[in-house]
Amino acid sequence: MTDFQTIAEAYISAWNETDATRRERLLEKTFTSDVRYRDPLMQGDGHAGVEALIGGVHQQFPGFRFALKSGPDGFGDHIRFSWTLGPAGSESVIEGTDFCVVEDGRLKSVTGFLDKVPAQ
């Protein structure tokens, strides 16, 4: 049986990790080596691609933290959960929902949807 809570928490931890060495270990634990990530604003493949996305978010939003908003839930090898992103201890600025495919307890694909974004 797939532990969706553990997978979602590992995903959030990887996105929150600012130390590159620790983040690399989290990426290996959380994502398959051939992971595919897609959302309306960015995409990346493999650990290097996801690492670049996470690094970019940290540069654009220094001090912001991801948190689980709802879920996770799923069935079979599919999982979904919603998350928030904002300054630590403050209201979220961005929110989204991710739909993922799990393989051997790790994320093989992530398709993200943005539910709340700041006005441009």
Based on DSSP, count helices (H) and strands (E) in the chain, helices before strands. Answer: 3, 6
Residue type, 105: G
How many domains is the chain built from?
Answer: 1
What does pTM read for this prediction?
0.94
Contact 79, 72 (CB under 8 A): yes
Band the pLDDT of 74: cuts 50, 70, 90.
Answer: very high
Q: Compute how many other C-beta atoms are within 10 angstroms of the C-beta atom of residue 107.
A: 24
Structural domain span for residue 70: 4-116
Band the pLDDT of 86: cuts 50, 70, 90.
Answer: very high
pLDDT digit string (tens) for 1-34? 579 999 999 999 999 999 999 999 999 999 999 9
CATH of the domain at 104: 3.10.450.50
